[in-house]
Structure 1
Amino acid sequence: MQAVKILQHGDTDVIEYGEYPDPEVGRDEVLVDIKAAALNHLDIWTRRGLPMLDLEMPHIPGSDGAGVVVETGVDVTRFEEGDHVAVSAGVGDLRMDDPTLDPNFHIIGEHVPGVHSEYTAISEDNLIPVPEHVDWEVAGSCSLVFQTAWRMLIERAELKPDEKVLVLGASGGVGHAALQIADYAGAEVYATGSTEEKLQYAEEHGADYVCNYEEENFAKWVRAETDGAGVDVVVEHVGAPTWRDSIKSLAKGGRLVTCGGTGGGNPETDIPRIFWNQLEIIGSTMATPEQVDDVLELVWDGTFEPAIRDVLPMSETARAHEILENREGFGKVVVRPDSELK
């Protein structure tokens, strides 16, 4: 089969699309003919290399994908040939109440080979049924960011109707999902973006107030818009460049919920402000199977809409990485096997 391969850690020139051994299907695995997949910032970090990440090279990246079941292992009970499925990339002990807290929790595409290939063999526990009316680009791009944002806001931050929420980078992957979820939950939504086009998108998808962070300090903007009070929740996924201002944006008793640090993982922080204002700093990673089902049902029925900024053949995955790194446009970048586009 043809697959995207990272040959070694480095810049985009380490990405290759070419021949790779066909996957073997285990007893509890499903062989999926991938129709569409998508990139996340996680793919960039994996390509560049992360501390404690020791991968066998070449490595197939990709945590988002969807396709058709073409074969099932002998112990598979949930799927059969012809089913439409999407990947949910978190792997944890399903006997636990919260598998994301499993000490051995890991992510397909980051810690083990991913799904940016013509075919993938994957445990049935990591597949979600997809209604046949759902477009492949939607099914292949929504799982990681929508489950992450849902857990952040609904489960971890316990967002309540009429609370004020600040979503940073509201046109990015997690950002555009969090924007829609916060609006769905009945919150008053404040959003940041870097261009007028991105801010217009945010307003069309649930933002009540928008700020161009390239032109003004978003913490001062939040304080001005809330008469000095601040917001109840900040959705933080940027890290070092925004951390201090994210904390400054919080009202007394507010909650900052974070799922990553695309701009840097070791920010300076304001400890006196945290304890004096009795703030909560909450970490969040992926979601439980039940949470995944809850949020994706709302994608399948059209309540939530993944933004697709571009669709490229997998042979142009290096270009797809550049689009994300350069923050070109907004939403998800989808890649499809070259054979699907002929």
Structure 2
Amino acid sequence: MKAIQFGSHGDRDVIEYGEFPDPEPARGEVLFDVKAGALNHLDIWTRRGLPGIDLEMPHIPGSDAAGVVEAVGEDVTRFEPGDHVAVSAGVACGECEFCRNGEASLCTSFHIIGEHVRGVHAERAAVPASNLVPVPDGVDWAVAGSVSLVFQTAWRMLQTRADVEAGETVLVLGASGGVGHAAVQIADHAGCEVFATASTEEKLSHAEDCGADHVIDYETNDFAAEIAELTGKRGVDVVVDHVGEATYPDSLKSLAKGGRLVTCGATTGPNPGAGLNRIFWNQLSVLGSTMATPGEVDDVLELVWDGTFEPRIRETLPMSEAPRAHELIENREGFGKVVVKPDSEF
């Protein structure tokens, strides 16, 4: 088969699309023909190299993909050949106290397909059956292959960790990205008043289409000052921030007293000043969030499959153009998800 792969960490020039040994489904695994997958910022960090993660090389990236089951390994009963499936990339042990309590995303050995182990951006992939979800007939492959990671992440952030309620105000930073545009839709669906930041008029327009009530160009405006003006100096109840060091101080500043900042990542750096004086004086909560539990995945994907939530696709490329796909993510070009398909699917 052919697969996107790299044999060493580095810039986009380490990416290749070439021959790779065909996978075989082990016990408990499912082999599927990949019809479409999508990139996430995680793929960029994995390619560059993440501290503490020693990957088997060559590495196939990719945490999102969907396709048709070709074969199943021993002990697999949930799926059979011909089924349509999508990957849910979080792998848990199923045995620790967190798994037993239904909090698999807090598993003591939690890891992610495509980040810690080989991913699914290839013509075929074999993954544990527990990491696949059924896809209804008629769902477009680009949709099925691009929603799981970002929508489950945004769903847990807002519904579980921040516990948003109708009538609350929510600020989503980086609304043009995968998690950002999912968070705008989820907050709007929850009945919240949604504020969103992006860097161009086109991206701001897309954010409004996703459900944002107010949009802020963070390139030309101080978003914390804009939030103060738009809310009569009150601030918002919740800030969704996956940007990190560059935005964290103003995220805290944007919160109302008793507000919650929820974060799932730090693309501009993980170590901002703590801002403890603002946190304790305004009685703020800073909440971390990673991926989602299987039940949360099922809840949010049901709303994708029925059309309530819609991933925006900025571009669909053949896997042989993976370096360009990475470039789109790195340069923040466009709005929404970047989809890749095996060249044989074009």
What is the TM-score of this pair, normalised by structure 1? 0.99
1:128-174: CA deviations, max 9, x gaps? 00001100000000000000000000000000110000000111110
**2:228 corresponds to which residue?**
223
Give the length in aligned residue pairs.
341
The equivalent residue for 1:244 is: 249
- Percent of paired sites with the same residue: 69
Q: CA deviation at 1:265?
A: 1.4
In the TM superposition, residue 340 of structure 1 has moved relative to its aligned partner by 1.0
Residue 3 of structure 2 aligns with an amino acid whose one-letter code is: A
- Which position in structure 2 is the counterpart of 1:235? 240
Q: Does 1:22 align with 2:22?
A: yes
CA–CA distance in 2 between the matches of 1:304 and 1:204? 12
Report the alpha carbon displacement of residue 63 of structure 1 after superposing the two structures with TM: 0.1
Once the 2 structures are TM-superposed, how far is the Cα of residue 94 of structure 1 from its aligned partner? 3.1
Deviation of 1:336 (Å): 0.3
Q: Which residue among 317, 335, 339 is the counterpart of 2:340?
A: 335
The secondary structure found in structure 2 opposite 1:335 is strand
Provide the aligned C-alpha RMSD in A. Answer: 0.7
- 1:35 is paired with a residue of what secondary structure? strand
Residue 73 of structure 1 corresponds to which residue in structure 2?
A: 73
Q: Map 1:25-64 to 2 at 5 A.
A: 25-64=25-64
Question: Which amino acid is the alignment partner of residue 99 of structure 1?
Answer: A
- Tell me what 2:275 maps to: 270
1:210 aligns with 2:201: no
1:157-206 superposed Cα distances (whole Å, 9 cap, x missing partner): 00011000000011111000000000000001000010001111111111
Letter of the 1:287 partner, please give it. A
In the alignment, what sits opposite 2:147?
142
Please state how far the C-alpha of 1:262 moved relative to its aligned partner.
1.0
What is aligned with 2:157?
152
Deviates more, 1:262-271 or 1:189-198: 262-271
Aligned equivalents of 2:39, 2:312: Cα separation in 1: 13
Specify the alignment match of 2:294 in structure 1: 289
- Tell me which stretches of 4 or more aligned residues in structure 1 moved more than 4 Å: none
1:306 aligns with 2:311: yes
Corresponding residue to 1:170 among 169, 175, 179: 175
Secondary structure, aligned partner of 1:294: helix
* Structure 2 residue 129 is matched with structure 1 residue 124: yes
Post-superposition CA distance 1:29-50 (Å, at most 9, x none):
1101000000000000000011
1:316 corresponds in structure 2 to 321
